[in-house]
Amino acid sequence: MYPKILIVDDEESVRYSFKRFLSDQPYKIDTACSSAEAVKMFARDRYQLVILDLRLPDISGLDLFRQLKAVDPRVVALIITAHGTTETAIEATKLGAYDYILKPFDIPAMKALIDESIHCAHLMRTQVLIEPAEEEMAGDRIIGRSPLMQDVYKMIGRVTGSDVNILLRGESGTGKELVARAIYQHSSRSEAPFIAVNSAAIPETLLESELFGFEKGAFTGASRRKIGKFEQANGGTIFLDEIGDMTLSTQAKILRVLQEGCFEHLGGEQSIQVNVRVIAATNRNLELAIETGKFREDLYYRIKVVTITLPPLRLRQPDIPELAAYFINKNKAAMGKSRITISPDGLKAMQDYHWPGNIREMENIIKRAIVLSKSNVIPAELIIEEFQKSANSSAKLRPFEALSSLSNEKIEEHRGNLYRTVISETEKELIARVLKHTQRNQVQAAQILGISRVMLHKRILDLGISLD
């Protein structure tokens, strides 16, 4: 089922423009020319995203947003206007608008923002169930009946009734975001926003502006006021994945939010108050990072009021058959198979495997095995072959050849600026190669890179990457 978007604007040209530039996207688009019409449509159908004009013929867009939130508190909204002021931007943010955009807007940036908003709505609305897998699944599931997973379920149950900050620990691919969403959905903040931020996927030079927002003119390229993730999560929950990868300056600002509930935009002087529950996650040894001066000890104790440790898949052998059945049921239709299973020897091979990529690796291997299997039973040989492919693909990427040829003369030539120069050029080359691989499809490129489409669009502009 395609995500549904409602466009509310009294100008027919604006409604038409949205339908036109979104025509190549997998969305169902409805339009309304007034608040009254929008309220009726919203009562009949639930929309993942509402894009509404600030000035409407009957009531204001902010008043309409209040009415829609009364019907569905988790509605995600983008507010657009040609007559923006600081006061209306602040009011829209306080009401819980995902973002506030001035006309005329940049179409590629708007597309990226819509993708990001739809993803946010999906995270809030897709239930995370802690139950045995069914043939028909109504949401995402945390699978496993092993003693280690039973301990995780008990901890989730204990923390959902409180409002404390939580630290999720575990190797990459163990399902930390699913656990964070399960905690959010069973908490008293379940009707408020849930915002997920993968710190490791955002360049450190941009992370602070993503988290805390910025004012127009705060830096080169800051053409408008930007709402940060903490503002978007106000009243709800923010999930900070890979918090151990953050710089000390970003850690200091997060600590201030946790201690005082406020921060300032980059380039701004006005203090912004927020009430946010933080669920942080890391696969790093934070205690060692504290000893080496790479992580703040005071922030460590602020985020780890309660710690939940997710076990690696290699320690969950009893759960592997159930996980395998779940991923087969989840993916077989999309892979063009109606009935398929794994041979007993294949399951035994999976239980003996060490799973360095954990659950994420298992789903990828099963997807490939479903496609490549010549019958309705996946043989052990194919599973073992997929293990080898996974091991090869997960090997560390070789540095770009330019680094290996970096001479002493070149190093001295860039003295004082070498790190910034190499990182910038490497990032530019990486993004350019991925865009070439996807034939300039920015949605696919962002997915491969593991960053949002908004972030990719910004880096293309900042690095001067040509799309020709």
Architecture of the structural domain at 314-393: Orthogonal Bundle (1.10)
Give the pLDDT band of residue 133 (cuts 50, 70, 90).
very low
For residue 408, give both structure tokens. Answer: 């002493």
406-463 homologous superfamily:
Homeodomain-like (1.10.10.60)
For residue 126, give both structure tokens. Answer: 């897709």
Q: What is the pLDDT of residue 400?
A: 58
Give the pLDDT band of residue 135 (cuts 50, 70, 90).
very low
**Do residues 242 and 282 touch, judged by C-beta distance below 8 A?**
yes
State which amino acid sits at residue 279: I
Mean pLDDT across 404-428: 69
The CATH code of domain 4-125 reads 3.40.50.2300
Mean pLDDT across 153-176: 93
Task: Answer yes or no: same fold for 314-393 and 406-463.
Answer: no
For residue 185, give the 3-state DSSP assignment: helix
Mean pLDDT across 264-276: 92
pLDDT, one tens digit per residue, over 18-52 is 999 998 888 999 999 999 999 999 999 889 999 99
Q: Does the pLDDT value for residue 395 go beyond 70?
A: no
Lowest pLDDT segment from 90-94, 225-229, 280-284, 356-360: 90-94
The rounded distance, in Å, linking the Cα atoms of 385 and 105 is 49
Give the pLDDT band of residue 138 (cuts 50, 70, 90).
low
Q: What is the pLDDT of residue 77?
A: 94
For residue 243, give both structure tokens. Answer: 């918090």
Please state, rounded to an integer, the average pLDDT across all residues of the chain: 87
Q: What is the pLDDT of residue 359?
A: 94
Q: What is the pTM of this model?
A: 0.79
Domain layout of the chain by residue ranges: 4-125, 147-309, 314-393, 406-463
Q: Does the pLDDT value for residue 398 go beyond 70?
A: no
Q: What is the pLDDT of residue 454?
A: 77
The closest of 454, 405, 400 to 428, measured between CA atoms, is 400
**Do residues 431 and 463 touch, judged by C-beta distance below 8 A?**
yes
For residue 30, give the 3-state DSSP assignment: strand
For residue 47, give both structure tokens. Answer: 């929309």
For residue 452, give both structure tokens. Answer: 């949002």
pLDDT, one tens digit per residue, over 198-236 is 888 888 778 999 999 998 888 877 777 888 999 999 999
CB within 8 Å of 307: residues ≥ 6 apart: 166, 167, 168, 169
User: From the CB of residue 190, how many other CB atoms can be counted at a distance below 10 Å?
Assistant: 16
Q: What is the pLDDT of residue 91?
A: 83
Mean pLDDT across 329-341: 86
CATH 3.40.50.300 at 147-309, yes or no: yes
